[in-house]
């Protein structure tokens, strides 16, 4: 059965991953405005030596973010909370990332449990639920810190990046461009916290 064209539904699918995804994004934006995620703003940037991006499967969002951050000259890794180790990046993610100047051809997924965390690591989640799941791991790794990528995006903050897996490539591009906004904020804070920043200015 073919359904009639619905411009609102189509827009939400292409720009936000669907109606439910859009609703989640708005809900978490309200929560952010009410201060629900302030604990994830408490980052000691001078201690950060590596940024570890963590999503669900490590084949879309975190794969792109980790690779993209490294192209900026930053130390980065990526992993997934439920990753199947050794899987390549999602084909749509790879195609869109290539159009944005990032090659995911060599990416292979890593489960977060297999990643050795150090005191200079900053775990970066793409969804509040993921951050909640990462809190015990961060607490068990002395010196590791935890934040949400969207808290460092241009205002208003987007603290929920819907998983693009299975979505149209148009949404992959929208998602990745929003991720880039968060990466720019992270990069700025990491660089400004470096003790040699005055010598490089």
- Report the alpha-carbon distance of residue 165 to residue 162 in Å, rounded: 9
Average pLDDT value for residue range 86-109: 98
**CATH (domain of 128):** 3.40.50.2300
Average pLDDT value for residue range 104-130: 97
Structural domain that includes position 180: 18-30+37-193
pLDDT bin (cut points 50, 70, 90) of residue 200 is very low
Look at residue 2 in the predicted model and tell me its pLDDT.
44
In a domain, 6, yes or no: no
In a domain, 199, yes or no: no
- Enter the tokens of residue 52: 């570890």
Average pLDDT value for residue range 175-182: 96
- Contact in structure between 146 and 123 (CB atoms under 8 Å): yes
In a domain, 2, yes or no: no
Residue with tokens 């936000």: 16
In a domain, 60, yes or no: yes
Look at residue 169 in the predicted model and tell me its pLDDT.
95
Among 1-5, 34-38, 78-82, 187-191, the range scoring the smallest mean pLDDT is 1-5
In a domain, 12, yes or no: no
In a domain, 138, yes or no: yes
pTM of the predicted model as reported, rounded to 2 decimal places: 0.92
Domain count, the chain: 1
Residue 180: pLDDT above 90?
Answer: yes
Residue 179: pLDDT above 90?
Answer: yes
In a domain, 13, yes or no: no
In a domain, 10, yes or no: no
Average pLDDT value for residue range 80-104: 98
Among 13-17, 42-46, 85-89, 120-124, the range scoring the smallest mean pLDDT is 13-17
Residue 155: pLDDT above 90?
Answer: no
| DSSP codes, 18-30 | SHHHHHHHHHHHH
72 CB-near residues (< 8 Å, 6+ apart): 183, 187
């Amino acid at each position: 059965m073919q359904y009639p064209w619905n411009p609102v539904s189509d827009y939400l699918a292409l720009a936000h991953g669907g109606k439910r995804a859009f609703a989640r994004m708005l809900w978490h934006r309200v929560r952010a405005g009410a201060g629900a995620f302030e604990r994830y703003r408490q980052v000691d940037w001078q201690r950060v030596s590596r940024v570890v991006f963590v999503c669900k499967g490590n084949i879309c969002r975190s794969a792109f973010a980790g690779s993209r951050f490294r192209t900026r000259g930053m130390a980065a890794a990526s992993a997934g909370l439920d990753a199947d180790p050794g899987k390549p990046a999602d084909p749509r993610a790879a195609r869109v990332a290539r159009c944005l100047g990032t090659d995911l051809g060599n990416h292979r997924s890593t489960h977060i449990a297999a990643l050795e965390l150090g005191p200079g690591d900053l775990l970066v989640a793409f969804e509040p639920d993921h951050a909640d799941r990462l809190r015990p791991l961060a607490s068990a790794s002395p010196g590791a810190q935890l934040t949400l990528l969207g808290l460092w995006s241009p205002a208003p903050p987007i603290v929920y990046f819907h998983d693009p897996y299975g979505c149209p490539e148009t949404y992959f591009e929208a998602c990745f461009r929003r991720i880039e906004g968060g990466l720019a904020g992270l990069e700025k804070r990491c660089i400004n916290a470096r003790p040699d920043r005055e010598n490089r200015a």
